[in-house]
Every structure is written in structure tokens, then in C-alpha cells.
């Protein structure tokens, strides 16, 4: 296997524990200080690096920042004490860290985080220079994590292409919108299944985790070298026209047009399919909800074009 994981901690006993835990699954490297870790990464293609936070010479976030600059495709995980959780959350929000695990760690949780991290790394490799059919297959594989969204990415792409064509988008951009619509939720590969498939409302903490999928997915697409239109769709499809969306609270036409298009297609498909927390709406009711969202969540000029198209879906 070419996939390697590197654990970094100044406590040798921890390194030995992690090596026993993972060596049967992945080639496992260890370093007892950050300087040695960077030397190891020079000579090895490391897919995932897992670092402790408190270490001499430099802390874990400083190490992962350097790793990000030197090896941007390596997925970065931080292990930290419970009282340092804010540090870890800030590092995630700033894009320095993909995930974190608290000490004392639970072996099952750590294994789950590591598997998610390897999946993210594989996704980057698969998306690079992939043909359209492969990109659709990747999107469909991500959908398998969320039991309620089978066929979602393909339907969203179909609706988005129809709306984009009605808005006068050129042929090259139509192709990029199709790919962006397929992959708009690819960042969900990092969301725990227990959250994606939860019946009933999410807690505030769970919703914050869900919101990260836009940034995670856009990072993957950027590292895979996909076009900016695709990246913008993944990153901004949950922005709202009134500026109350996420991840950046963009407003109005500051939201890229391609993201405003996919947002309408995404919401329409969500409304007209069964979800764990409610049954599907009729087409008429879904269009009524879109109409009521003009100027708040959605671009009114694009919503106005949608009802005529929806009759053909």
C-alpha cells in the first residue's frame, strides 16, 4: 500500500499504542518530535498525519501548519486534551486541521477519524483529472453515507443545468455547473453517519459539524485542481441571498451565480424527496416554498425562471 500514516507525540508510550492499533491496517510511521516528523515527510508520501498538541520545539498546530504548506494533500488530525478543545475547533475553522480527537482517546473514535481522513485523501486523488463519469461515481459513493439522498446529486445537476441554460449560461460553464452540482456535498465524507442520518432536529454542535462540509469539500476540489466554478458551488451553495447563510455569510450577487443556481436546485430536490426528519412535499408545495424564499434565501430573478422548468422534471 502507498497510503501511510504518521503519528507525532513526545510521549513514546502513545506512539507505541498507536502503532499497535494501526500497523495491521496502514503502514505506520512515528516521530517523537515535530522536527523529525518533517524530516520523515520529506522521504515518505504521508497520506494522514496525526499530531499531539503539546510538544517541545513547536506545538501540534504549528507542525500541521508547516505540513499544510509543504504537503497540502496530507490530511491533518490533531490530538488534544479536553481543556484545549477551543484551540482545536479554531484550527478546524481556519483550515489548519481536518479533525481532532481528545485525550484520553477512545480507540474506536480514533480509528473512525483516521478512516475518514484516508477517505478524504483518496477522494482528492480520485477527483484529479477524472472524467465526468468518474466524478459522478465519486459523488454517488459519497451519497451512500446519507441514506436519504440516493440520486440527489444527479437530480440537482439536472435541475441546475436546466436553470443555468434558462439564465443564458454558456456551454463550457454548463459543464462545470454539472460537475459542481454532482460534487456539491462531497465534503460530507467527513461527517459522522450518526449525524447525517439522525432522525429529528440536529443540536447546535451537530449543525456546526454539518456546516463544515462546504469548506472541507471545497478544499478537496481545490487540491484536486478542479475549476473555480466547481469549487465555488461546493463552497457557497449554502449561502443565502440575504447574507444569513454559511460558511461566510455572503450576500446578494457577492454569491457566485453558479452557487445561487445550484442552491435553488438543491433546495427543490430536498423539498421533493423524503428525509429522515419529514416526508416529501408535492411539486406545487415545493414551488410555493421557493417563491416564499425569494430575496431572503434565494435569488428572486432565478427563482422566477424555475416553475416553468419544474413542470418538465
- Average pLDDT on 157-184 reads 96
Least confident of 147-151, 167-171, 223-227: 147-151
- Split into its structural domains, the chain has a count of 2
Q: What whole-number distance in Å separates Cα of residue 234 and Cα of residue 184?
A: 4
CATH code where residue 16 lies: 3.40.50.2300
Q: Kindly state whether residues 23 and 92 are assigned to the same domain.
A: yes
Q: Kindly state whether residues 165 and 304 are assigned to the same domain.
A: yes
Q: Kindly state whether residues 85 and 233 are assigned to the same domain.
A: no
Instruction: Give Cα separations from 283 to 265, 266, 277, 288, 299 (angstroms).
Output: 13, 14, 18, 9, 19
For 102, the 3-state DSSP assignment is strand
Q: Using alpha carbons, select from 124, 164, 116 the residue that is nearest to residue 261.
A: 164
Angle at alpha carbon of residue 252, lines to 248 and 254, rounded to 5°? 60
The last residue of one of the domains, among 94, 125, 156, is: 125
Q: Kindly state whether residues 102 and 19 are assigned to the same domain.
A: yes
Q: Kindly state whether residues 140 and 274 are assigned to the same domain.
A: yes
| Contact between 140 and 153 (Cβ < 8 Å) | yes
Q: What is the pLDDT of residue 148?
A: 62
pLDDT at residue 139 greater than cutoff 90: no
Q: Kindly state whether residues 156 and 70 are assigned to the same domain.
A: no
Partners of 75 in the β-ladder: 48
Q: What is the pLDDT of residue 270?
A: 93
Least confident of 17-26, 53-62, 121-130, 141-150: 141-150
The last residue of one of the domains, among 125, 152, 168, is: 125
- Any residues with CB less than 8 A from the CB of 279 and at least 6 apart, and which? none
Q: How confident is the model at residue 276 (pLDDT cuts 50, 70, 90)?
A: low
- Average pLDDT on 4-30 reads 95
Q: Kindly state whether residues 204 and 91 are assigned to the same domain.
A: no
Q: Kindly state whether residues 66 and 197 are assigned to the same domain.
A: no
Its domain, for residue 83, covers: 5-125
Tell me: the pLDDT tens digits for 55-67? 988 999 999 999 9
Q: Kindly state whether residues 171 and 254 are assigned to the same domain.
A: yes
Tell me: the pLDDT tens digits for 179-226? 999 999 998 887 877 787 777 788 888 888 888 899 999 999 999 999
CATH code where residue 218 lies: 1.10.3210.10
Q: What whole-number distance in Å separates Cα of residue 122 and Cα of residue 153?
A: 20
Q: What whole-number distance in Å separates Cα of residue 220 and Cα of residue 102?
A: 25
Q: Is 244 a catalytic residue?
A: no
The last residue of one of the domains, among 125, 158, 184, is: 125
Q: Kindly state whether residues 170 and 297 are assigned to the same domain.
A: yes
63 or 148: which leads in pLDDT? 63
Q: Kindly state whether residues 27 and 168 are assigned to the same domain.
A: no
Q: Kindly state whether residues 141 and 120 are assigned to the same domain.
A: no
Q: What whole-number distance in Å separates Cα of residue 8 and Cα of residue 63?
A: 9
Q: Of the listed 145, 188, 198, 244, which one is catalytic? A: 188
Amino acid at each position: 500500500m502507498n497510503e501511510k500514516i504518521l503519528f507525532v507525540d513526545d510521549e513514546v508510550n502513545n506512539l507505541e499504542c498507536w502503532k499497535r492499533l494501526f500497523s495491521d491496517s496502514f503502514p505506520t510511521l512515528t516521530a517523537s518530535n515535530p522536527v523529525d516528523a518533517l524530516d520523515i515527510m520529506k522521504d515518505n508520501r504521508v497520506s494522514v498525519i496525526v499530531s499531539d498538541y503539546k510538544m517541545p520545539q513547536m506545538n501540534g498546530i504549528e507542525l500541521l501548519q508547516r505540513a499544510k504548506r509543504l504537503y497540502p494533500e496530507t490530511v491533518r488530525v490533531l490530538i488534544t486534551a479536553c481543556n484545549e478543545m477551543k484551540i482545536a475547533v479554531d484550527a478546524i475553522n481556519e483550515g489548519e486541521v481536518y479533525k481532532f480527537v481528545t485525550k484520553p482517546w477512545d480507540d474506536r473514535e480514533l480509528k473512525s477519524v483516521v478512516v475518514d481522513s484516508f477517505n478524504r485523501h483518496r477522494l482528492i486523488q480520485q477527483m484529479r483529472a477524472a472524467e465526468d463519469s468518474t466524478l459522478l461515481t465519486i459523488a454517488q459513493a459519497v451519497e451512500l453515507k446519507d441514506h436519504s439522498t440516493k440520486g440527489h446529486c444527479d437530480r440537482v445537476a439536472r435541475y441546475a443545468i436546466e436553470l443555468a441554460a434558462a439564465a443564458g449560461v454558456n456551454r463550457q460553464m454548463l459543464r462545470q455547473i454539472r460537475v459542481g452540482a454532482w460534487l456539491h456535498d462531497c465534503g460530507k465524507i467527513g461527517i459522522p453517519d450518526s449525524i447525517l442520518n439522525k432522525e429529528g432536529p440536529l443540536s447546535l454542535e451537530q449543525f456546526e459539524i454539518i456546516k463544515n462540509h462546504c469548506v472541507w469539500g471545497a478544499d478537496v476540489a481545490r487540491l484536486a485542481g478542479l475549476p473555480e466554478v466547481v469549487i465555488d458551488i461546493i463552497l457557497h451553495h449554502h449561502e443565502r441571498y440575504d447574507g444569513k447563510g454559511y460558511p461566510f455569510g455572503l450576500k446578494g450577487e457577492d454569491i457566485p451565480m453558479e452557487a445561487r443556481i445550484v442552491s435553488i436546485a438543491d433546495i427543490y430536490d430536498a423539498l421533493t424527496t423524503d428525509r429522515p426528519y419529514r416526508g416529501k412535499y408535492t411539486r406545487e408545495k415545493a414551488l410555493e416554498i421557493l417563491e416564499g424564499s425569494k430575496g431572503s434565501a434565494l435569488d428572486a430573478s432565478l427563482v422566477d425562471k424555475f416553475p416553468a422548468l419544474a413542470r418538465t422534471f
